[in-house]
Amino acid sequence: MTLQEYDYSRESPSKLAASCLLLALTMKNLGGWTPTLEYYSGYSAQDLHPLVKRLNFLLTYQPRDKLNTVRSKYSHRVFFEVAKLAPMDMLKLEEALTCC
């Protein structure tokens, strides 16, 4: 989704990938940002928090008329129906990130 949003073009690909991973871990309650993830990514959880919030906002307020093919593709069980996952409530996300 970020490939078609100009605002994300200035973010480094590694930081964007790390932020997506942290958001996914938080959304699925799979734990937080571990020291191992911090070591290999080069980013602390605090470095990623602003971008994670922006990504969740993008998921929350995405226009439904765009990217229908992408949404349809990732709604299939082959891709674990990730397009059907509901974004996190912003307050719950903030709470989850502060405990990391």
Domains of the chain: 2-99 (1.10.472.10)
Over the stretch 72-91, which tens digit does the pLDDT of each residue have?
888 899 988 888 888 899 99
Contact by Cβ (8 Å): 15, 43:
yes
Q: What is the pLDDT of residue 47?
A: 96
Integer Cα distance of 98 and 71 in angstroms: 30
pLDDT band at 65 (very low <50, low <70, confident <90, very high): low
Q: What is the pLDDT of residue 94?
A: 92
Over the stretch 21-44, which tens digit does the pLDDT of each residue have?
999 999 999 988 999 999 999 999
pTM score of the predicted model = 0.84
